[in-house]
Amino acid sequence: MATFLSDLATNRAATPQAYNKGNQQDGELRIFRAKYTAPASSPPQIADIISWGYLPKGAVIVGGYINYGAGTASCTINLGDLQSAARYLAAFSIASAGNTAVQPPVNATNGGASYEIATPAPGQSTDDSEIRSVVAGAAVAVNQVINLVLFYVANN
């Protein structure tokens, strides 16, 4: 029976052994937690962006969730970055109260599976560290609360 090696096992079996990055093995699990409350005066409209915050270089999201209160009919958001708007989640409805899982290992579209933050450059067109959502379908409801929790590993 043949044995086939993953990238981690290949590095370990190499002579000399190759280094496995901390975001692949033995890295630190960290949390990214953000809350957004739509203002009563001017909630986000179609094509507006909710900026959740920034991840460090080398971070790899391994899971998480978004929960939200009841919102406007037909309102959707996605989860991604400046380079790929739906890197972590394609558009999903936030019209009814709910909880949506972020499972990048399952979501291989747009490089989402095991995607590593490579170019933290806030304010520049090459930035992939800003986690953001684009509003579509309808405006976000006034005073709607949306919480984002991401678990990620980073080089230690």
Closest CA to 84 of 53, 122, 139, 125: 125
Determine how many CB atoms are found less than 10 A away from the CB of residue 61: 26
Tell me the pLDDT tens digit for each residue of 71-92. Answer: 999 999 999 999 999 999 999 9
Residue with tokens 């989640």: 89
Of 2.60.120, 2.60.40, 3.90.470, 2.30.29, the CATH number of 22-154 is: 2.60.120
Give the start-to-end residue ranges of the domains of the chain: 22-154
Does the structure show a pLDDT above 90 at 148? yes
Tell me the average pLDDT across 6-14: 84
Tell me the average pLDDT across 116-137: 92
Residues in CB range of 11: below 8 A, 6 or more apart: 17, 18, 19, 20
Does the structure show a pLDDT above 90 at 111? no
The overall longest dimension of the chain from CA atoms, in Å, is 67
